[in-house]
Chains A and B, each alone.
Chain A
Amino acid sequence: MQSISDKDYGTPRVDSTTKVKVNIDGTSVEVPEGTSVIRAATQAGINIPKLCATDMLEPFGSCRLCLVEIEGVKGYPASCTTPVKQGMKITTQNGKLAKLRRDVMELYISDHPLDCLTCDANGHCELQDMAGVVGLRDVRYGYEGDNHLQLEKDESNPYFNFDPAKCIVCSRCVRACNEVQGTFALTIQSRGFESKVSASQDQSFMDSECVSCGACVQACPTATLSEKSISKLGQAEHSVVTTCAYCGVGCSFKAEIKGNTVVRMVPNKDGHANHGHSCVKGRFAFGYTTHKDRITKPMIRNSIKDPWKEVSWDEAINYAASEFKRIQSEHGVNSIGGITSSRCTNEETFLVQKLVRAAFGNNNVDTCARVCHSPTGYGLKQTLGESAGTQDFDSVMESDVIMIIGANPSEAHPVFASQMKRRIRQGAGLIVIDPRSIGMVKSPHINADFHLKLLPGTNVALITALAHVVVTENLISEDYIKERCEWDSYLKWKAFVSQERHSPEATVSTTGVPAELVRGAASLYGSANNGAIYYGLGVTEHSQGSTMVMGIANLAMATANLGRKGVGVNPLRGQNNVQGSCDMGSFPHEFAGYRHVSDDSVRAMFEEAWKVELKSRPGLRIPNMFEASLDGSFKGIYIQGEDIAQSDPDTKHVQAALEAMECIVVQDIFMNETANYAHVFLPGSTFLEKDGTFTNAERRISPVRKVMPPKCGYADWEVTCMLSNALGYAMNYTHPSEIMDEIARLTPTFTGVTYKKLDKLGSIQWPCNDKAPNGTPIMHEETFVRGKGKFLLTEYVPSHEKVNAKYPLILTTGRILSQYNVGSQTRRTANVAWHDEDIVEIHPNDAEERGVETGDWIGITSRSGETVLRATVTDLVQPGVVYTTFHFPESGANVVTSNHSDWATNCPEYKVTAVQVAKVTNPSDWQKRHQEFTSLQKELLGKRETVTE
């Protein structure tokens, strides 16, 4: 069922500058060439009955309901499959057409249950609507003959039901799965009367290849595929457009609501990032927002061994402020700091960094981008001049070759993966650079031209080898470089990459990738008219993450693949607001807009606006904070919406650092792992409970809109204001729009951003200013932001993590579709039906050597620690490499990861840890201690003194 507030035009919009004029029922209509008759009619306000047609899908022409008469054309063509032609005269309603449509509807209804009043889709069923539209009053055939009414309902999926008795076999679900999602999990099985929708090999939806994106449910015109939430709650009464709080794609959704209850989330067809598509997380996994584990009252305690005590907001805020003041008076102004969250809004992260700089009086603020995409910010700023991706998502539809490096879009950015797949199915070339056989390598109708299955940790050697081929085989664009880049830096880089030691043949022993594959991939990318690079944490979370980002930018500049549609360097951001949290000045060395704190003129501007003296020296990064805590010089921290005890590497080290602090203030919606070490807990609000904006991977600022009041009484930004006021630094905003106004006043790339404009345009890609009042889809079009693009040298430096006889395997970590980051949200939804524990993938050769079989418990030991997880034996990983996810705290995946980090940014090297694995029968010592500590903390939470209102 489509959104209750959507209008459906029957077929997709056509973008053509050539206009065609036609006459429909006496009305003159002008539309782009190639537009269907049904869409032209709908645009003119003339609704032609339809069932199999929808504007999310290509026309199909099967239902025979949208028939029209066209002057000079024989018969009754389907208006969905008939494109307009200049001068066409179309009749959509007359007696003959009405009879034909009524007869068709009569056949449909003769094999459809007549339970409209109790049906989930009642009032929003397209079949019901069409029966009314065509004036069907009776069914001549009776219901005694063969029919499908007794077919069994499939309720296996936790979020939607499939009731084949209500199916009219319009194929909209099948086409949605193919065209929109690209999974091809559904088909019409058999022929004629036996035709039926079938998931995979006639399996239940849960057992099939279905990825629960919801495209089929949205496409279904009846209640055949219908959300369980509608069945339970009834239909919503209104909808509010907002932005998903999961990954960096930043999908726009219509939250459909009744009262304060969200009935369902429907992807917004007008959403600029997702165009009406969604994934299982954004579409269905919002149940955590009302989960019983939500903590909605502030709490304090003296020690982490004490029970919590619920207190009033005033008492909690005043306690936190007094503790921070005490610590600063005893240990100095630099002894405290804060962490902003990529799960919070731009306005909220802006306020937290402002609080640290203005109220704490230091620059000890950092954000979780430290542990994911900080090398992107550094590498792209150095080479191109701006710490952000260069394209909009739609750009991929003009790419001829797509290179995916260290990203797993079909798991981590599924909606963009679907768009990418659509382009690949149209014929774009595909190069995948990844140690694992990720889903993009081979899936229905997708076969990567090259999969460079490199050894983890050797990215830089490989990107330089690709550059070597591009340069030595003269695939470079010297004219472009001369015009757009620093020529001297290019010559230096050219001389560097041309060295024989960087050739694919010389680097094969390092990367493990056969030279001919490297040469082939380089040639494909270098020869493309439009070559686009998309990358993820497999690039950044390395000791050479920043070098690799620079290597990617070098390659794109050398081949003139920057500055227009179809090309670019595109970081796929992990969390919804990673880009935004970085933009907002969350890093300890820079203000909003990526301007260094040592810049006197910038600092003076902030000082004047904030009426306070600001520090000109960089503050501590998150891992530096841990070190400073352990040496006794860092004692207090305010953490908004982050779970560093689970997400950051070398868990034991992090835990020791947290234990050494005197005041940890955690603001979150749940008691997360970090909160177990906290002294003050400030309840957080979900994305449904506040106004603000998120900025996605394409620099797109999208509105977040409150659809229900905050469960704890305050939105997160209000809590930060209260804390700041208690510290003596006034923050008196009455609405997040005022915060955005301040951001716009102080940030050159945001000067044109207002809530009013966001409401008008739907979303805005920064830079948005006088030069680009409606935003900037493609960056660096005329010149690079830094002026001339700068080539930088990319020497390969092996990781400190070395395999040896004791630790012969490399552990690399990643994500899975159904879970998100530390899992605190998705673990509290039915998504656990797909993934309820972290599993270790091990290659059959390595498994056999160790006697490991799928399902065995295996101990994973590194130089940092040990944990125990269940194994699955698979050739998705290569020999010598094991892989796991980190969505469950008890897994302790980060107990094993090391303290090594990117040379430029300290982004942890999650992707390379030398380990040994062996079959075991018991949990690790750390897991036992974690279990005991978690139980104790649960007990202390359970024993909390409560306040009654």
Chain B
Amino acid sequence: MNIDYLVEMANDIGNYFTSEPQREEAINGILNHIQRFWEDRMQKQIVDYLDEGGEELSPMVKEAVSRLKNSLVEAK
């Protein structure tokens, strides 16, 4: 998929959680949302993008995608 589209989606999720005072809660919120609503190829692609540097991802989203990667590895 167009990676810009996925990056915008991920950052939009991240933006929602910016007002969450607990950073950990915010990151888990982003992670949980992606896990619950993103199809596998989208999850894989955003993880691949992070592996390539993930430049356009906001810091909290980067952290969430990093955890997503770990969960996908564990699932395997």
Q: Is the CB of A630 within 8 A of B19?
A: no
Q: For the complex, is A624 an interface residue (Cβ under 8 Å from B)?
A: yes
Q: Is the CB of A617 within 8 A of B39?
A: yes
Q: For the complex, is B8 an interface residue (Cβ under 8 Å from A)?
A: yes
Bound-state Cα–Cα, A78 to B32, Å: 68
Q: For the complex, is A618 an interface residue (Cβ under 8 Å from B)?
A: yes
Q: For the complex, is B18 an interface residue (Cβ under 8 Å from A)?
A: yes
Q: Is the CB of B37 within 8 A of A617?
A: no
Q: Give A500-527 as 1s and 0s: 1 = Cβ < 8 Å from B's Cβ atoms.
A: 0000000000000000000000000000
Bound-state Cα–Cα, A900 to B12, Å: 10
In-complex Cβ contact of B16 among A364, A797, A899 (8 A): A797
Q: Is the CB of A627 within 8 A of B5?
A: yes
Q: Is the CB of A627 within 8 A of B19?
A: no
In order of increasing CB-CB distance, the 8 nearest A-B pairs are A795-B19, A903-B12, A627-B1, A797-B15, A793-B19, A620-B39, A631-B1, A903-B16
Bound-state Cα–Cα, A328 to B36, Å: 24
Closest to A906 in B: B9
Q: Give B10-43 as 1s and 0s: 1 = Cβ < 8 Å from A's Cβ atoms.
A: 0011011011110000000000010011111110
Q: Is the CB of A795 within 8 A of B16?
A: yes
Q: Is the CB of B2 within 8 A of A547?
A: no
Q: For the complex, is A938 an interface residue (Cβ under 8 Å from B)?
A: no
Q: Beyond the given A544-B16, A795-B19, could you list 19 further A-B residue pairs with CB under 8 A, ordered by the A residue number?
A: A334-B41, A589-B36, A618-B39, A619-B39, A621-B37, A628-B1, A628-B41, A630-B1, A631-B1, A633-B1, A633-B41, A793-B19, A795-B18, A797-B15, A900-B8, A903-B12, A903-B15, A905-B37, A906-B9
Bound-state Cα–Cα, A906 to B1, Å: 15
Q: Is the CB of B41 within 8 A of A618?
A: no
Specify which chain A residues have a CB less than 8 angstroms from the CB of B15 in the assembled complex. Answer: 795, 797, 903
Specify which chain B residues have a CB less than 8 angstroms from the CB of A598 in the assembled complex. Answer: 36
Specify which chain B residues have a CB less than 8 angstroms from the CB of A618 in the assembled complex. Answer: 36-39
Bound-state Cα–Cα, A547 to B29, Å: 14
Specify which chain B residues have a CB less than 8 angstroms from the CB of A628 in the assembled complex. Answer: 1, 41
| Chain A: number of interface residues, binned into ranges | 35 or more
Query: Using a CB-CB cutoff of 8 Å, which residues 609-633 of chain A contact chain B?
Result: 617-621, 624, 627-628, 630-631, 633
Q: Is the CB of A899 within 8 A of B36?
A: no
CB distance from B49 to the nearest CB of A (A): 14
Bound-state Cα–Cα, A900 to B16, Å: 15
Q: Is the CB of A904 within 8 A of B39?
A: no
Q: Is the CB of B2 within 8 A of A627?
A: yes
Q: For the complex, is A543 an interface residue (Cβ under 8 Å from B)?
A: yes
On chain B, the number of residues with a Cβ less than 8 Å from chain A's Cβ atoms is: 21
Bound-state Cα–Cα, A633 to B33, Å: 23
Bound-state Cα–Cα, A314 to B9, Å: 42
Q: List 5 A-B contacts (CB under 8 A).
A: A546-B16, A627-B2, A901-B12, A903-B16, A905-B37
Q: Is the CB of B40 within 8 A of A617?
A: yes
Q: For the complex, is A588 an interface residue (Cβ under 8 Å from B)?
A: yes
Bound-state Cα–Cα, A904 to B9, Å: 9
In-complex Cβ contact of B5 among A496, A546, A588, A899 (8 A): A899
Bound-state Cα–Cα, A794 to B2, Å: 29
Specify which chain A residues have a CB less than 8 angstroms from the CB of B18 in the assembled complex. Answer: 795, 797
Closest to A633 in B: B41
Specify which chain A residues have a CB less than 8 angstroms from the CB of B9 in the assembled complex. Answer: 901, 903, 906
Bound-state Cα–Cα, A200 to B33, Å: 55
Bound-state Cα–Cα, A621 to B36, Å: 12
Q: For the complex, is A800 an interface residue (Cβ under 8 Å from B)?
A: yes
Bound-state Cα–Cα, A621 to B37, Å: 9
Q: For the complex, is A596 an interface residue (Cβ under 8 Å from B)?
A: yes
CB distance from B60 to the nearest CB of A (A): 13
Closest to B22 in A: A492
Closest to A499 in B: B19
CB distance from B14 to the nearest CB of A (A): 9
CB distance from A621 to the nearest CB of B (A): 8
CB distance from B57 to the nearest CB of A (A): 14
Q: Is the CB of A492 within 8 A of B39?
A: no
Closest to A629 in B: B1
In-complex Cβ contact of B33 among A547, A795, A901, A904 (8 A): A904
Bound-state Cα–Cα, A334 to B39, Å: 10
Closest to B14 in A: A903
Bound-state Cα–Cα, A589 to B33, Å: 11
Bound-state Cα–Cα, A596 to B33, Å: 12
Q: Is the CB of B36 within 8 A of A543?
A: no
Specify which chain B residues have a CB less than 8 angstroms from the CB of A630 in the assembled complex. Answer: 1-2
Closest to B18 in A: A795
Q: Is the CB of B1 within 8 A of A903?
A: no
CB distance from B39 to the nearest CB of A (A): 5
Of the candidates A543, A617, A797, A903, the one having the most CB atoms from chain B within 10 angstroms of its own CB is A903
Closest to B6 in A: A627
Specify which chain B residues have a CB less than 8 angstroms from the CB of A544 in the assembled complex. Answer: 16
Q: Give B61-75 as 1s and 0s: 1 = Cβ < 8 Å from A's Cβ atoms.
A: 000000000000000
Q: Is the CB of B13 within 8 A of A793?
A: no
Q: Give A897-912 as 1s and 0s: 1 = Cβ < 8 Å from B's Cβ atoms.
A: 0011101111000000
Known: A496-B19, A795-B19. A624 touches B1 (CB 8 A): yes
Bound-state Cα–Cα, A618 to B35, Å: 8
Bound-state Cα–Cα, A628 to B36, Å: 19
Specify which chain B residues have a CB less than 8 angstroms from the CB of A906 in the assembled complex. Answer: 9
Bound-state Cα–Cα, A223 to B60, Å: 70
Specify which chain B residues have a CB less than 8 angstroms from the CB of A589 in the assembled complex. Answer: 36-37
Specify which chain A residues have a CB less than 8 angstroms from the CB of B8 in the assembled complex. Answer: 800, 900
Bound-state Cα–Cα, A308 to B8, Å: 40
Q: Is the CB of B36 within 8 A of A596?
A: yes
Bound-state Cα–Cα, A627 to B38, Å: 13
Bound-state Cα–Cα, A588 to B39, Å: 9
CB distance from A75 to the nearest CB of B (A): 71
Specify which chain B residues have a CB less than 8 angstroms from the CB of A899 in the assembled complex. Answer: 5
Q: Give B39-52 as 1s and 0s: 1 = Cβ < 8 Å from A's Cβ atoms.
A: 11110000000000
Q: Is the CB of B19 within 8 A of A624?
A: no
Closest to B75 in A: A617
Closest to A544 in B: B16
Closest to A625 in B: B39
Of the candidates B19, B21, B40, the one having the most CB atoms from chain A within 10 angstroms of its own CB is B19
Q: Is the CB of B20 within 8 A of A793?
A: yes
Specify which chain B residues have a CB less than 8 angstroms from the CB of A904 in the assembled complex. Answer: 13, 16, 33, 37
CB distance from B45 to the nearest CB of A (A): 9
In-complex Cβ contact of A547 among B1, B16, B21, B41 (8 A): B16
Bound-state Cα–Cα, A795 to B40, Å: 29
Query: Using a CB-CB cutoff of 8 Å, which residues 38-75 of chain A contact chain B?
Result: none
Closest to B43 in A: A617
Specify which chain B residues have a CB less than 8 angstroms from the CB of A619 in the assembled complex. Answer: 39
Known: A543-B12, A589-B37, A904-B13. A624 touches B20 (CB 8 A): no
CB distance from B61 to the nearest CB of A (A): 11
Bound-state Cα–Cα, A385 to B48, Å: 34
Of the candidates A598, A617, A633, the one having the most CB atoms from chain B within 10 angstroms of its own CB is A617
Of the candidates B19, B39, B42, the one having the most CB atoms from chain A within 10 angstroms of its own CB is B39
Query: Using a CB-CB cutoff of 8 Å, which residues 365-420 of chain A contact chain B?
Result: none
Specify which chain B residues have a CB less than 8 angstroms from the CB of A496 in the assembled complex. Answer: 19
Of the candidates A619, A627, A633, the one having the most CB atoms from chain B within 10 angstroms of its own CB is A627
Bound-state Cα–Cα, A334 to B37, Å: 16
In-complex Cβ contact of A631 among B2, B12, B16, B21 (8 A): B2
CB distance from B24 to the nearest CB of A (A): 14
CB distance from A221 to the nearest CB of B (A): 57
CB distance from B22 to the nearest CB of A (A): 9
